[in-house]
Amino acid sequence: MPPSNFQLAGWTTRNHPSVMERMLRGLSDPQMISFALGLPAPELLPAKEFAVCLDRVLQKNAVSLQYQPPLRSLKSHIVRLMKTRGVETSEDNVFLTSGAQQGANLLVHLLLNVRGDVILEEKTYTGFQQILKPFDPRIFVIPSLPNTGFDLEALSDLLASGVRPTFFYTVADGHNPLSLNLDLVKRQSLIRLARAYKFPIIEDDPYGFLNYDEMPLPPLLALDSEFVLYVGTFSKILAPTLRTGWVIVPEELMRQLGSLKEAADINTATLNQFLINEFFETQDFTSHLLNLKTEYARRRNSLSEALIEKFQSFARWQNPANGLFTWLEFPEWVDTEKLLEHALAYQKVAFIPGHLFNVSESRAGSNCVRLNFTHARTETIFDGVGKIASAIEEIGFR
Amino acid sequence: MPPSNFQLAGWTTRNHPSVMERMLRGLSDPQMISFALGLPAPELLPAKEFAVCLDRVLQKNAVSLQYQPPLRSLKSHIVRLMKTRGVETSEDNVFLTSGAQQGANLLVHLLLNVRGDVILEEKTYTGFQQILKPFDPRIFVIPSLPNTGFDLEALSDLLASGVRPTFFYTVADGHNPLSLNLDLVKRQSLIRLARAYKFPIIEDDPYGFLNYDEMPLPPLLALDSEFVLYVGTFSKILAPTLRTGWVIVPEELMRQLGSLKEAADINTATLNQFLINEFFETQDFTSHLLNLKTEYARRRNSLSEALIEKFQSFARWQNPANGLFTWLEFPEWVDTEKLLEHALAYQKVAFIPGHLFNVSESRAGSNCVRLNFTHARTETIFDGVGKIASAIEEIGFR
């Protein structure tokens, strides 16, 4: 790339092309089997129901194509939806956003100063890391523990040593990328720390409604509505294209969020708000979600069967209780970045190497991969795992 | 509002509720005649065509509900659309955004450092001012001249005195709020300055396609594609709800814009991209636009007739060549903020006082108002102007 004719903001000089970016370019190959992205199953996207709902909305609501204030009845559906998770909230605390990504982005802009202090765990959703880049924050990294999530003791020690984070970010259900749920004690302890040290928790919850077998635990928001700023989305339970999500926050933050939203994109697409509202009012959302969970649980199990077949004594994984991913750990000597390069070129299969989620420069997790199980059908899942196994043998890791 | 339980970012302490915000709350009253916002005519929104297109898209494109890379064929339609304005560009320079607001927002994040230097003209679209707030920039303000736009000499002097702005922001066609078009000499001079002092121009162009009678001038981008960063949108020529716009920039900026976009909201709603693409391919966009322009020119003329009837020797205005607004200047003693308070309470009519667009604390323009002419039908326009005239008399300004 030639240099620009004029000066760009300082952060851009530190924003180099990532391995992830280079890699994702390969995914447009139609022959590629991809476990890389967090995509819903295309067959389960409610295209027909959407067509019916859109038709009806376009016939009766002229304002559905205009700029409009957020649709109060959609907020009511969100309030009821949150109730199924044990959250008591009100329309006055629900703020509509263009998906969870924007929700998290607006919250960061609400809270963080440039070069502010942040505590993150080592393995953090890369889209959240992207939000932070222009702020050039001072990041204190605590370890991600393989089976239980962020290292509570490390967090507690940092706080005791005087670090005062602007916020703590976490995915309590279906952690991305580790695909685990925080246990109740950890949830409660985190909230105790937040209250004691007066920092807010950003609870990013794209996967909370996609629980497969365990009795689900309450989200952090159900345990504390003063220090937990909750981010939800319809992307994974209805469709990504809706670009509609929500944030639940104390009412005193709504006005400042409104300023940020207006500056970001004025308002959340009105037609999509009407569409989702119509879906809730005329379709059976509960069955739709149940269908989704049943099929995703099946695919998760298929992935597990395929992994047993190919990697039983070679790799380790746990079936996740929530979300879209399985976290797979190979022996220490498997360099999954090299494996990926080989797999893309010779086996046409994609996944994301574990260390690419690291906040620090550490290579921790470079023997792990994150595998999506919701996008591909069972046969393809088996094929794909077979290809990964072949790549491992071809490259001599086994 | 009670204070928050935790610390917010520094800029929020300077973000007080604006007169504009307070005022806009009154607009939800269905009895209100509003000249305040930049809303398209609801009758001209292509709801039926959208229903047909959406139905077709949902039948044939399963991926239309997924996350997807930007639709190349939509970019081609944008390239062709820009050609009608005299712009030669390519798909590789077109970046899709969630409306023009996001386009401008991403460009600011690409260019501006916190407390960076910016030159703005006194009267600037408030949504752009909102974008700047969290950056706390040092703003050098140059006058807005009533009939010709920003004060070129003042800009030139500032630059000569050593000020080096991160960018200069302008709306060349249908300036918001002054509703004027920059003349060709000013366009060329601005570009000469940008090249000489190496700063980019953000050309915000929501109204460029809505030209009513004059032979339109080329946008800044047609005159220079190296220093002009162009922001376009479908909001005013198709529908606001699409939340789909575009930015045209030198190719070397695309990757950094990509990072910002991912951090902002991942991608521009896929279904909307397919919908617009389908509209271009199966509907007659040219006739649609012509219809829109014909009706808007008619409403602009109706507003002018109503103003002649009520304010001929009292106020001054020019019929705008582009856009959605007429800028109306009352005698110096008319305080339009007081007028508005009275008008909202006793006449149920809304508009925006001119000084609310000021970048500085100046009251310049407090005897002016911005009137939208695209949203209301002719009868309502006449009614509304009558109500403003009554308010002026009741309050004793005439």
pLDDT given for residue B214 in this prediction: 73
Specify the domain boundaries for CATH 3.90.1150.10 within chain B. 17-45+287-395
Contact flag B243-A250 (C-beta cutoff 8 Å): no
Listed in order, strand segments (DSSP E) in A6-58 are 33-34
Average pLDDT, chain B: 95
- pLDDT at position B312 over 70: yes
What confidence tier does B63 reach under pLDDT thresholds 50, 70, 90? confident
Contact flag B269-A241 (C-beta cutoff 8 Å): yes
A47-282, CATH topology level: Aspartate Aminotransferase; domain 2 (3.40.640)
**Phi, psi (5° rounding) for residue B62?**
-60, -35
Token pair recorded at residue B173: 């066609």
Q: Give the mean pLDDT of B243-268.
A: 96
Give the integer Cα–Cα distance in Å for B198 and B166: 9
Token pair recorded at residue B377: 């039908």
Give the integer Cα–Cα distance in Å for A269 and B183: 35
Contact flag A45-B59 (C-beta cutoff 8 Å): no
Question: Which residue from A39, A227, A243 is facing B265, i.e. has the nearest CB?
Answer: A243
Q: How close is the nearest chain A Cα to the Cα of B99, in Å?
A: 7
- pLDDT at position A213 over 80: yes
B63-282, CATH topology level: Aspartate Aminotransferase; domain 2 (3.40.640)
CB-based contact, B20 to chain A, within 8 Å:
no
Question: Which residue from A4, A9, A133 is facing B112, i.e. has the nearest CB?
Answer: A9
Specify the domain boundaries for CATH 3.40.640.10 within chain A. 47-282
B contact test, residue of A65, A74, A133, A277 with most B CBs within 10 A: A65
Contact flag A5-B227 (C-beta cutoff 8 Å): yes
B contact test, residue of A191, A265, A273, A274 with most B CBs within 10 A: A265
Contact flag A4-B252 (C-beta cutoff 8 Å): yes
Question: Which residue from A55, A69, A101 is facing B265, i.e. has the nearest CB?
Answer: A101
B17-45+287-395, CATH topology level: Aspartate Aminotransferase, domain 1 (3.90.1150)
- The residue among B133, B35, B239 whose CA lies nearest residue A258 is B133
Give the integer Cα–Cα distance in Å for A244 and A75: 12
- pLDDT at position B34 over 80: yes
What confidence tier does B23 reach under pLDDT thresholds 50, 70, 90? low
- pLDDT at position A76 over 90: yes
Q: Give the mean pLDDT of A278-289.
A: 98
Cβ neighbours of B12 in A, within 8 Å: 110, 256
Are A117 and A96 a contacting pair, CB within 8 Å?
Answer: no
pLDDT given for residue B285 in this prediction: 98
ipTM of the complex: 0.96
Chains A, B: CB contacts within 8 A come to 241
Cβ neighbours of A101 in B, within 8 Å: 262-266
pLDDT tens-place string over residues A318-339: 999 999 999 999 999 999 999 9
Token pair recorded at residue A398: 């086994």
Q: Give the mean pLDDT of B194-221.
A: 96
Q: Give the mean pLDDT of B180-186.
A: 97
What confidence tier does A30 reach under pLDDT thresholds 50, 70, 90? confident
- pLDDT at position A18 over 80: no
Beta bridge mates, A231: A204, A247
What confidence tier does B344 reach under pLDDT thresholds 50, 70, 90? very high
pLDDT given for residue B141 in this prediction: 98
Architecture in CATH for domain A10-45+287-394:
Alpha-Beta Complex (3.90)
Beta carbons within 8 Å of B94's beta carbon, 6+ residues apart: B75, B78, B79, B246, B247, B248
The CA distances from residue B74 to A184, A322, B142, B262, B384, in Å, are 48, 36, 38, 19, 40
Average pLDDT, chain A: 95
Cβ neighbours of A243 in B, within 8 Å: 98, 243, 265-266, 268-269
What confidence tier does A3 reach under pLDDT thresholds 50, 70, 90? confident
* Higher pLDDT among residues A68 and A149, named by residue: A149
CB-based contact, A98 to chain B, within 8 Å:
yes
